[in-house]
Structure 1
Amino acid sequence: MTFESSKLKNYPSNSLWRNIWRRFCRNRLALLGLSLLVIIMTSVVIGPFFYHVSIDAIDFTQASTPPSWQHPFGTNDLGQDQLARVLFGGRISLTVGLMSMVVAIFLGTIIGAIAGLYGGVIDSVLMRLTDLFLSLPQLPLLLLVVYLFRDTIKVIAGPELGIFILVVIVIGGLNWMSVARLVRADVLKLREMEFMSAASAMGASPLRLISVHILPNVLSVIIVAATLAVGNGIITESTLSFLGLGFPPDTPTWGQMLFQAKDYLTWSPHMAFFPGLAIFVTVLSINYVGDGLRDAFDPKVRH
């Protein structure tokens, strides 16, 4: 491969992306997941602008009522409308998933690219660090970090923003390892190719090698990992909130709604059903899209 031809690889043509889209469209489950994901994201973003019901309005006369025309998802133990809270909470849960994905992808890509490009002692140290993080029990460590630092971060940034920042950093900071390994494996193959040798011979700096010649060629791995990381972030945030270490009780994330509904499962199962269904459908859709993207970026896959 010549240095000139590598430029074509670094900057994919429109036809390449069209082929990827065609392969993605052949996967019916991926299309279903994408459709459901678009519906969910559209609903949580613009839904509260059309469904004008307060998420905080308390009406004890309507406490724990089942779904009806007035309250399509029923009400909780305080008489608050469940549909309004599911729509509002979806914004927070999806934002946590997206931002924690950004943290995980950033850390994993940088560490994997540096380890694969430099090799030697740097590679060994970074991979041992990756192995160390992989060996840690994630959920207990998440609970410990959030428990130790949540009061401090609340004082610094406020109860809602502080917990949001802490949860995003902790989730993203404990989920970058698989991305780092995938990126490192691809970089180890790329650095042996002729266009990398040509770029180094022409005096390209390590930063340019990573940003111009390496990242475009590992983009498919990063995109697939990013997709799956969003679902993992949503699940982890819901777990923290369900265990009482997430957002404050007056912030209706999907996990927080499940936490509040756990004592009413016998006579008001709808309080847990709808937020649980939102988590299930969202994460399942994201996983379907991730599987579809993985197959679409692999030209050897035939549907």
Structure 2
Amino acid sequence: MISSASSGAWRRFRQNKTAILGGVVLGAIALSIFLLPFLYRVPIDAIDFTRGSLPPSFSHPFGTDDLGQDQLARVLFGGKISLSVGLAAMMVAITLGTTIGAIAGFYGGWIDQLLMRLTDLFLSLPQLPVLLLVVYLFREKLRAIAGAEWGTFILVVIVIGSLNWMSVARLVRSKCLSLKTLEFVSAARAIGANPFRILQVHILPNLISLIIVAATLSVGNAIITESTLSFLGLGFPPDVPTWGRMLYDAQNFLTSAPHMALFPGLAIFLTVLSLNYLGDGLRDAFDPKT
């Protein structure tokens, strides 16, 4: 049975037209990425120099790149990688942020001071230079262990997730500070419940709405970061067509073949914008006072 709070949040969410539009566009993009390749079976690596840099046409709806490879097939394949990186990096960031924020807010004292100063330290780091440095130092080592594609995937996910948990930790800590003073937490302490059980049973369920909103916004940030790394040539290998890598390959053909940059750039733009609209709508639905 749906609680009154959940039904109220759903009602508020339905009234937010931009959030609904973001959800519809995001759903359409996801369905296209995962279902359309079963119908559109053009290979992503078929090279034909005689058909290089062709504009969009019936046979190639998104045109071709400088090697004659079909852009639509590559955009669809790159979408799987970009979304997978975004979701996996989000899980890393949410796990770290929720754990650190909940412990800091619930226990307080020197633990809170230590964890919040650690959070401040990570917030003060210049994200892009640190990303570039870590990827440059450890990319080849992980590729040698797990292969070129999986090694890069693991490294990118861990690095992006490890540098994006701080805002989640601050939000969770703030919510925990208010939750632990409420009566149901005091009652649980009075009957002898241990701190771990109070966190697990009483605190964390009340953080779900906040975590959902943070997770939605975190996916878009991770996609942007991965695209930035790929555009700078420090992401996936050249033969793996992520959206950022496609933009990197298209930078020398902006005047002669602008479609090479248009469609992957549009895919990034629509995906991240939809995620932001969806996250804003969820935030307004779960916490209308803000």
**Per the shorter chain, which TM-score range?**
over 0.9
Match of 2:264 among 271, 275, 297: 275
- Paired position in structure 2 for 1:230: 219
5 Å matches for 1:120-131?
Answer: 120-131=109-120
Match of 2:35 among 18, 32, 46: 46
1:140 equivalent in alignment to 2:129: yes
Gaps spanning 5+ residues in structure 2: where? none
Gaps spanning 5+ residues in structure 1: where? 1-11
- Paired position in structure 1 for 2:85: 96
1:181 equivalent in alignment to 2:170: yes
Deviations 1:65-112 (A, max 9, x none): 000000000000110000000001100000100110000000000000
State the 1:205 CA deviation.
2.2
- Paired position in structure 2 for 1:216: 205
Cα distance in 2 for residues equivalent to 1:173 and 1:236? 12
TM-score, with length taken from structure 1:
0.94
The residue identity in structure 1 corresponding to 2:184 is: F
Match of 1:207 among 196, 201, 204: 196
5 Å matches for 1:57-206?
Answer: 57-206=46-195
The residue identity in structure 1 corresponding to 2:86 is: G
Cα distance in 1 for residues equivalent to 2:270 and 2:168? 24
Cα distance in 2 for residues equivalent to 1:206 and 1:85? 50
State the 1:15 CA deviation.
3.2
Cα distance in 2 for residues equivalent to 1:246 and 1:76? 19
Cα distance in 2 for residues equivalent to 1:100 and 1:83? 26
- Paired position in structure 2 for 1:3: none
The residue identity in structure 2 corresponding to 1:54 is: P
- Paired position in structure 1 for 2:45: 56
Cα distance in 2 for residues equivalent to 1:207 and 1:102? 22
Secondary structure of 2:62's counterpart equals coil
Q: Which consecutive aligned stretches of 4+ in structure 1 deviate over 4 angstroms post-superposition?
A: none
- Paired position in structure 1 for 2:276: 287
State the 1:201 CA deviation.
2.1
Cα distance in 2 for residues equivalent to 1:195 and 1:18? 23
Cα distance in 1 for residues equivalent to 2:245 and 2:77? 12
State the 1:185 CA deviation.
0.4
Give the aligned length: 290
The residue identity in structure 2 corresponding to 1:107 is: L
Deviations 1:2-60 (A, max 9, x none): xxxxxxxxxx9433222211100101100100000000000001111110100011111
TM-score, with length taken from structure 2:
0.98
The residue identity in structure 2 corresponding to 1:14 is: S
State the 1:206 CA deviation.
2.2
The residue identity in structure 1 corresponding to 2:35 is: I
Secondary structure of 1:88's counterpart equals helix
Cα distance in 2 for residues equivalent to 1:234 and 1:65? 28
1:246 equivalent in alignment to 2:232: no
Cα distance in 1 for residues equivalent to 2:271 and 2:79? 10
- Paired position in structure 1 for 2:286: 297
- Paired position in structure 2 for 1:6: none
The residue identity in structure 1 corresponding to 2:282 is: L
Secondary structure of 2:54's counterpart equals coil
State the 1:203 CA deviation.
2.2
- Paired position in structure 2 for 1:8: none
Cα distance in 2 for residues equivalent to 1:69 and 1:99? 35
Cα distance in 2 for residues equivalent to 1:257 and 1:271? 7
Alpha-carbon RMSD: 1.0
State the 1:195 CA deviation.
1.0
Cα distance in 2 for residues equivalent to 1:108 and 1:187? 13
State the 1:193 CA deviation.
1.2
Cα distance in 2 for residues equivalent to 1:137 and 1:19? 40
The residue identity in structure 1 corresponding to 2:130 is: L
1:17 equivalent in alignment to 2:6: yes
